Structure 1
Amino acid sequence: MRRTTAMRTGLATLLLLGTWAGAGSLPASATDATPDTAATDTAQSVRTPEAPASPALLSAMQRDLGLTRSQAEARLADEKAAAAVETRARRAAGAAYGGSWFDAASGKLTVAVTAAAPDATVDAVRKSGANIRTVKHSARQLDAVKARIDKLPAPDGVSGWHVDPSTSAVVVSVIGAQRADNDVQKFVERARAAGPVTVEETAEEPRTFAAGTVGGDPYYTGNVRCSIGFSVHGGFVTAGHCGRAGAGVSGWDRSHIGNFQGSSFPDNDYAWVNVGSGWWTVPVVLGWGTVPDQLVRGSAEAPVGASICRSGSTTRWHCGTVLGKNETVNYSQGAVHQMTKTSVCAEPGDSGGSYISGDQAQGVTSGGSGNCSSGGQTWYQPINEILNRYGLTLHTA
């Protein structure tokens, strides 16, 4: 099976064309409502600021992560605290920082620190509130190893590679059935020569979730349907494989929305589209009838191990955990760098859709393996990289 892109339908998050009568109904046409009406309906459908998350988002976490409601609420609180700890701990560790990850069992962030770190540095990291693990290599050293591997031509039998702070190594993923392939073995040898590397086997190759046009969903370019990621001031962000710069974009009713103003794929997988012709943006992730619409309040990055949920126009809401960061994914169209890996499933048409942790935007769907029936894994392009690349401002509540 070859890698594919996740295109197929429209608004995985938030470009609204007016009001929607209730959770799950498609947005009405621009002539059916005014922006003021849309804002009122949005405010009624999303969670209150006091709640940790919308009831339906908590329900999705319970379904996909096997949690009770109280456990889901407690986990969101722990993850929010861990994100704050990570900032302090990383600053305290300095050059000795070896990466970090969230442990759901303890509800705490673990920070890796190199063995050569002075006692004062270790004490400062501990005082930040993090658990500590001693490792051989710093995050900077591991990133340098990964950067060297990024320069190697990868055969189809290699699905990707990423830094794993818990093992203090770069993990190279190979397709199990092709591990004995000469080109795969040669790549692994060259990767190991670049620095500390471990090899893991995977059953399936990553693919982007592309598909032909399917009626009834919002965002189309040519004969491809994709999902909207997040509203920004002046437009929305999505996956780069959904369209090239200049390509026209239409909504669920085939009315013109705008054009791709910037797009990058492969190497990256992000793009942004301007909004006009009676359409406007709202800081909301759509629930598609599975969950109520969710307000977006920022883009604080969730740590490895944190829970995360995805909204896409094909499979709607699904949740899982962050498995890794800064992973290179080797699609058939070329490698894409600096991706975040998750245990959330996706299917064709979910490309470009939104990943959100609590009320914090995380990124846009790129691709993955498996599906939402048998399970799978996915990758997303982090939102802050996209905003910085194009000088965009996230539309927040």
Structure 2
Amino acid sequence: MRLATLAGAVALTAGIAFTSIPAYASPTPSPSPSAPSARAQGDGMLQALQRDLRLTAEQVRVRQAHEATAATLERRLRDRLGERIGGAWYDAGKERLSVGVLNDKDAKAVRDAGATPVQVRRSEKRLAETKEVLDRAAKAADDKIYGWHVDVAANAVLVSAADQASGERFVRAAGLTAGEEVRITQGRAFKPVGDIRGGDEFFSPTDTPGTYVACSVGFSVDNGGFITAGHCGKAGAITKGHDWSDQGVFAGSTFPGGDYAWVMLYQGAKWATRPWVNDYNGNNVKVAGSQEAPIGSSICRSGRTTHWRCGVVQGKDVTAHYSDTAIVEGLTKTSACAEPGDSGGAFISDDEAQGVTSGGAGGCADGGISLFQPINPILHTYDLTLTTTKRSGSIVGWQDKCIDVPNSDGVEGQRPWLWDCNNTGAQLWNFHRDGTIRNFALCLDTAGGSTAAGAAVQLSRCSGAASQKFSLTTAGALVNTNSGKCVQVVGAGGVGSRFELGVCNGSGHQKWRKV
């Protein structure tokens, strides 16, 4: 194949992008309706919400407006009711916030504020304490116990189990009784968490029923997803992970003109973004930043078809003429080969992210070349932040133990605990540019947004609330900037100990460092 000059158009083989794959291995359940966690991200997110929630475009807009109001109202009412609150939740049927209350005075305050009061018997604080009893008995849970959590709408702690008898047996082992406050529900076993790494494969459906395209992950972003090639999927298209489990939705996609996209992960889908690229040799290459490499620099790429391939940067600002209707500008040319299915995969030079695979000419058997879409314009276009090791790491403290997400179960309301450091994803925290500390697409927070000493530290849906802002000082204190109090280990500080806010005193229980 003849190529034009680097500054001009490049004629490339079509089809380098992806491979069509039958859906015989694909699970059939649709994505969780509650998955998209942010406000609409352009037409792509609007379409996804319409599909998954079975709403019209106007209903989506109305719902989002109501949800935004509910979020603001919840923070205000939590401040007013304090520990008396029985929980808060958005009621789609009533199109407004519902708040659990314990007395008529609080019910009036909730009603006057514009929310719906719901009389309950137990405060959110009491339910959290009941759940902690189960947490402490976690070792008594066998393989028929799938998990437990506070359900504020039910005003109860729900234990998910294979059957009623197994659930009751576990509850008794914890010293509790199954009933109104602790209820047994039949559930399914949780699946292990999947890490999002550059070069890993993912799938998205084509316009032909029953078929999927296979592409590769580019790089994780702090916004709760990853970037990839635009031709891998249209805005609003769903994605499935390498194990065919539900993963996310294309929140934005550009092709032709450019060739880039980003996928927003579903909350609760058990995928976690990591500052890594898969080298297909059993290791993860760490991503430290996105400093652009000059022409002539060595560069490597990762993808699901040809795995880990390297070459040099040969030219920049390349225009690719894939077809008369598919012209892409601003690409970078390299001597690293690529083949169908590698599209979207990561290009990295040393530990600096460079871009995502767009296309190529030839293959790995005949000295082919490749093109990638530079990363920084992608981040700028979608206002994304690259997930890097500079902002990620373990938080090590008391007795050289780490802040850990129990059993990698990243769910809202989960309380991290102190655990032996083990370099797993459950201990890899991202220090976001907005002052939040994140893992599993959730933010470190205080229960109910409390600023009081003794307030429990937990994971919450990232909302921009002041209670979710933390700062790791040079003195080694992890300060909740909203309260001015420090994160400390509860009690003696053994394995499994939880965390709370305390008046900063410089004690060992309040000393932390990022590793």
Q: TM-score, normalised by structure 2?
A: 0.38
Q: Which has the larger radius of gyration?
A: 2
If asked which structure has higher relative contact order (CA below 8 Å, sep 6+), I would say 1
TM-score by length of structure 1 reads 0.49
Higher percent of residues as helix? 1
